[in-house]
Amino acid sequence: MRSSSPSQRTSTTLGTGIGQGLARLSVFTFVVLLLGSGAKAAAESPEIPIESASASPPNHRVIGVHASVGLRGTRLASVGFDPFSKDDGFVQASLALAYRVVHVPNLDFSVGVEWDYGLASAYVRDSSSSLEVHELAAALCGRVPLSRRFAAFARLTPGAARVEARVTDASAVATDAYAAGALSQVRWLPSATASAGLAFRMASVSHSKSAPVFDYWLTAEAGYHYSPSYALALRSGGPPAADRNVQPLALGDLSLRGGFGRLGLALTF
């Protein structure tokens, strides 16, 4: 089997770094655009109070869309997580889009979808390890207004998670026994979160009395994430070398359940 040259390994490492950088840049760009659009709209249009005492009360068009972006930190006290992180913290970026299906004076209920992405990595001598998690879930959210600026909410997100664990031994990759140098495991697991939190409305913007009102929110929540544990047994993804009997690399049980906190920005209209 042909060995990998240093330039090929460098290209692979650069490609992985660029891919991770683009993923993080996309989330950062979304946040900047969300804040920038709010600031621009607030500068161009004065805030129109909901409780207007004018002769012609506003009749704002309600669409019922809720979009949000945030960062979620989960504490994973799992032996199988130790090879991928120096502590028990696991950070994920969250994107959600929902539609309000129930609206009464003291309750809003919305349904939608949520995607969470997280990547943990560690380096020890010539070996590197990474744990990549994608979660896609249905988002069920109930919101209760507390005042004109504050609201309380509760969320339930049942879904599925794709977990990929990978360990690469740089010294083995440099030899012909490439199969012994790159070990990985991919698992699909059910997952769910339950949380509650508070939302603070930073601004309400509308261009006219009949146009939709764009509300910008700062949110904070805490909850619990559940996913069943499983045994990590990493195997080679390529054909084994003729003179080697490659055994799975056992790293213990991995559990992605634990308490979490999340900070986010939301836009409703």
| Surface-to-core class of residue 70, CB atoms within 10 Å of its CB (0-12 exposed, 13-18 middle, 19+ buried) | buried
3-state secondary structure of 76: coil
Closest CA relative to residue 135, chosen from 156, 155, 111, 160: 160
Q: Which amino acid, 119?
A: L
3-state secondary structure of 8: helix
- Give the integer Cα–Cα distance in Å for 109 and 21: 35
- Give the integer Cα–Cα distance in Å for 144 and 112: 18
Chunked mean pLDDT (size 10), the chain, 269 residues: 42 44 49 49 46 54 91 94 92 98 93 98 85 98 96 98 90 48 91 98 88 94 97 80 67 94 97
- Give the integer Cα–Cα distance in Å for 141 and 238: 44
Q: Which amino acid, 268?
A: T
Taking phi first (over 0 means left), then psi (-120 to 50 degrees means alpha), and beta for anything else, what does residue 4 get? beta
256 close to 232: Cβ distance less than 8 angstroms: no
pLDDT at 254: 95
3-state secondary structure of 56: coil
Place of tokens 């056992």: 250
The hierarchical CATH code for the domain 6-47+63-239+248-268 is 2.40.160.20
Summary mean pLDDT of the chain = 80
pLDDT at 9: 42
**pLDDT by residue (tens digit) across 137-188?**
999 999 999 999 999 999 999 999 999 999 987 655 444 444 446 899 999 9
- Residue 27 sits at φ, ψ, to 5 deg, of -65, -45
Ordered DSSP codes for 158-201: EEEEEEEEEEEEHHHHTSS-GGGTEEEEEEEEEEEEEEEEEEEE
Neighbour tally for 226: CB within 10 Å:
14
pTM of the predicted model, to two decimals?
A: 0.74
3-state secondary structure of 245: coil
* Residue 229 DSSP symbol: -
3-state secondary structure of 23: helix
CA distances from 83 to 39, 108, 171, 235, 252 (A): 43, 43, 18, 16, 10
pLDDT at 3: 42
- Give the integer Cα–Cα distance in Å for 97 and 27: 14
